[in-house]
Amino acid sequence: MIGLFDSGIGGLTVVRELLRQAPDASFVYLGDTARTPYGNKSPETVIRYALEDAEFLLKHGATSIVIACNSASAVATEALRRAHLSIPIFEVITPAVEAVCRLNVGRVGVIGTRATIASRAYESRLRERGIEVIAKACPLFVPLVEEGWLTDVETKRIVKHYLSSIRQAQVDAMILGCTHYPLLSEIIQRFMGKQVRLIDSGAMVVGELLRHVSQDGARSQRFFLTDLSARSEEIAAQWLARPVHFEKADI
């Protein structure tokens, strides 16, 4: 059984891709909505939360873990791997970097939370591969997504505020380095122009995941949140194009 976690509903962008490629996959999803966002918190705090999230998933039958959150992938992957030596742990940054390298492009934008951008996890790996990087933290995007403000005029204004410098730099591609951001991809794409390839960091990990984990046992698909709200079920149902029932997680 695959365990996935994020600070909130953003990791559902990974679940969507998982369901597209393997509709009968068994998984347990945890969104830590009670403590979201992670991206504005210190690495120590994000590591502590990530360890607790993984513990919860393992207690609920997970035999592999997907860190469906860039912020936690950037700062907590090592700690998680050290704490769970026998469990395969997948992070979302390396597959996104590899996807960009396959595009053979020269200049790339990277957007993410403050934690992800400050870690320079994308920047340093892309620069090592000879790619020019323009990175930008977009801390207001996560609360906008959690609120379901996906196409509002205020959201468009904030997109313009954050992304103008990257647009001016005329990048060839841009990494959506936060699993919440694909929910805003429509307005981001419109603002950046259709010549800019958007890379969904969450979606890229699924191919690697399915190559490494085998699925056995009866199909089970459970969704947990640490704080329940009707709004989350609405957004999740819209995003996954099916009804989603969230159970309350106590961690």
67 interacts with ligand DGL by CB under 6 A: no
Out of 4, 47, 50, 69, the residue judged to bind ligand DGL by CB under 6 A: 69
Give the whole-angstrom CA distance, residue 49 versus residue 36: 10
Which of 18, 57, 69, 108 is catalytic? The answer is 69
Between 144 and 170, CB nearer to ligand DGL = 144
Stretch that binds ligand DGL, among 3-11, 52-60, 148-156, 218-226 (CB under 6 A): 3-11
Distance of CA 37 to CAs 7, 164, 178, 242, Å? 6, 24, 11, 25
Q: Helices 12-21 & 230-240, crossing angle to 10 degrees?
A: 30
Between 28 and 66, CB nearer to ligand DGL = 66
SS3 35: coil
Handedness of CA 77, 123, 150, 161 (dihedral sign): positive
Out of 26, 33, 36, 64, the residue judged to bind ligand DGL by CB under 6 A: 36
236: left (phi over 0), alpha (psi -120 to 50) or beta: alpha
Instruction: Reply yes or no on whether 138 is catalytic.
Output: no
Stretch that binds ligand DGL, among 17-25, 37-45, 99-107, 127-135 (CB under 6 A): 37-45
Minimum gap (Å) between residue 142 Cβ and ligand DGL: 4
Handedness of CA 53, 55, 59, 62 (dihedral sign): positive
Q: Which residues bind ligand DGL (CB under 6 A)?
A: 6-7, 10, 36-39, 69-71, 113, 116, 142, 178-180
